[in-house]
Every structure is written in C-alpha cells, then in structure tokens.
Copies of this chain bind each other. A is one copy, B any other.
Amino acid sequence: MGELNLTSAVSFMVSIQDDLRAVETLMRSQADERYPDLQSALDLLLSAGGKRIRPTLTLLAGKMLRAKGEPLLHLAAAIEMLHTATLVHDDLIDGSLLRRGMPTLNSRWSPGATVLTGDYLFARAANLAAQTDSIPVMKLFSETLSIIVGGELTQMFSTRCKADRTNYYQRIYAKTASLFETSAKSAALLCLTSELHTEALRAYGYSVGMAFQIIDDILDYTGEQATLGKPIGSDLRQGLVTLPAIYFAEMHPEHPLTINLIEGNCIQDQDVLDELIGAIRSSKAIQQSHQEAIQFVETALNHLSIFDPCPERLALEELAHHVVDRKF
C-alpha cells in the first residue's frame, strides 16, 4: 500500500519505470493550485496506489509501435485518471469505506464533494486525452466512458442474485475489459498503425481485461478478508452473481441452494449465505473459472503473435500471464 513502489515493480514494468513515474507526475499535476482541497483529494487517491496496470499496458503497446513520447505519456495518464474517476463514483454509490485497504474519499468527504471530485477527475482525464492531439483517441475515450457508465446503470436496474452467463460477460466487459481494450487500442490509434495491428491490440486488451475481472471475481471467493479489505463472498452478499457462482450452479444442479441462483432468489439468511459461499469456495467452480481466465490470456497471447518479437511484446506477454497469476 502507500505510494506506488516502482522499485519492487514486477518484471514487465521494469523497462518503463521512468515513463510510469512521468505518468504519475502528470496525474498529480492535474489539480489546479486554485483548489487546494482538490489537490489533497487527488494526492489521497493517487497515493492509495493501485497497480497501474492500465497505463502500463498503454505504455508498452505504444512503445512497441514507436509512439511519440509526450502524447503516449498523456494517453497513459488519461487512462488511469479515467479509471480513478470511475472508482470515486463507484465507491460513493456502493458506500465503500475502504479500497486497497485505504479509506475511500466518500468515507471522509460529503457525498456532494465526492461527486464533484469525481467530475473534476473526468474533466482532467478528458483534458489529458485531448493533449494527445488525436481525434480518434478522444472519440474512443468518450465512447469507453459511455460503456462503463451504461454498464453500471444496467447492473443497477437488472435482476440481482441470478446466475446468467450472458449478463455476466456483458457486465465484466463494461466494467473492466472495455477500459483494458481502450488502453491498448488507443495506443495503436496514436501511432496510426495498420488496421490489423490496431485490431490485434484491441483484442489483446479485451482478453486481458476479461481475464483480469474473472480473477478479481475468483479472489472475492478465495482471498483473505484482510487482503481483500472486505468479507469473503462480498459480491454474492450484494446480490452479484459472478463466474464462480455461475459454474457452481451449472455443475451442481442437485445442491439444495442452487435453485436460488437459477431463479434469482436473494438469500437473506446470513448462515445460508455463508453455507453457499463455502460450498462455492470448496467446489471445482473456482478451478473452472480460473481455467476460463487462462483461456482468455491464451487468446490475448495469440493476438500478440502478429507483432515482431521485441522487449515490449515480451513484456505484454508477461503482463497477460501476471493477470492470472496474481494473488491480490
């Protein structure tokens, strides 16, 4: 936790440490000195860390295609700023008090100030994106924000507690894979590379993003409460049926609690919920979900194969592997 510790960064980050530092500086410089409260909010949000995996992906993809330095740094900062802005509003809406073990903004500030801080970060993300001087990047950027927010609204209005594969893939695309996709594709757009290369990077980003969210959803079942900063099975406790529960329902139609997942009955009794979460944790559904994440990573690696071997391609391969190997 704490400040982004780049010295202990994983291998695929080593070659871009200086760039990541520059991205960090760019992000921190986005609060106008006229608004000291915003500066402290931004410092709080950025020092909470985060893996910076999206800007890492952008930087590696851009450097592989020999993107110009300044626009690429602005793009990477825009991507992470957009991500940060969505987290600020998410935590407010969910009433989350901790993220990555650190207090959320909404745990300290009023709802109004938190809404406005998120809005300010959206504005700065848009401004950073505009600094790339690329109209295609700007368009993709605003479309991605529409997809992320549209997905959250859909989730808010849709049936809870129900195992539904189609709905699940749509949801994790909107929530996570869309921004990974954009992190990679926008780097290609910046370089005016071929359609083939752009599409390959988009597909790589998409697949890595899908794998990333599936692993997140698995960790919600298998992680330690202290590491997660939330109770085990918190998704299901909130009525969110993710891939492990979907596999469980498919593989154990005979289990007395499966009917709830099929019919979309939200279980109110805590003991019954604990029992179902325990059953999912100890079932093969976890392994199956992990297998599916690995398949997404393999698809991602296949899409990279059209690029000539180079250190950045190797790092993007490592990044994809890291996504399924991570433990938190």
Chain A residues with a Cβ under 8 A of chain B? 32, 34-35, 37-38, 86, 89, 92-93, 110-113, 115-120, 122-124, 126-127, 129-131, 133, 135, 138-139, 141-143, 145-146, 149-150, 152-154, 156-157
Cross-chain contact of A113 among B38, B127, B153 (Cβ < 8 A) = B153
Residue of B with least CB distance to A31: B150
Cβ-defined contact, A149 with B119, below 8 A: yes
List of B residues within 8 angstroms of A111 by Cβ: 93, 111
List of B residues within 8 angstroms of A127 by Cβ: 139, 142-143, 146
Give A27 to B157 CA distance when docked, in angstroms.
Answer: 23
Task: Assess A37 versus B157: contact at CB under 8 Å? Given A124-B146, A146-B123.
Answer: yes
List of B residues within 8 angstroms of A141 by Cβ: 126, 130
Task: Assess A112 versus B142: contact at CB under 8 Å? Given A119-B89, A122-B119, A126-B126.
Answer: no
Give A112 to B124 CA distance when docked, in angstroms.
Answer: 22
Cβ-defined contact, A153 with B117, below 8 A: yes
CB distance from A172 to the nearest CB of B (A): 16
Cβ-defined contact, A93 with B112, below 8 A: yes
Cβ-defined contact, B126 with A149, below 8 A: no
Cβ-defined contact, B153 with A116, below 8 A: yes
Cβ-defined contact, A123 with B135, below 8 A: no
Cβ-defined contact, A149 with B89, below 8 A: no
CB distance from A239 to the nearest CB of B (A): 14
Residue of B with least CB distance to A32: B150
List 14 A-B residue pairs with CB atoms under 8 Å apart, sorted by A's residue number.
A32-B146, A35-B154, A89-B116, A93-B111, A93-B115, A112-B156, A115-B118, A122-B145, A123-B146, A123-B149, A126-B138, A130-B141, A130-B142, A131-B139
- Which 4 residue pairs spanning A and B have beta carbons closest together? A123-B145, A93-B112, A127-B142, A126-B142
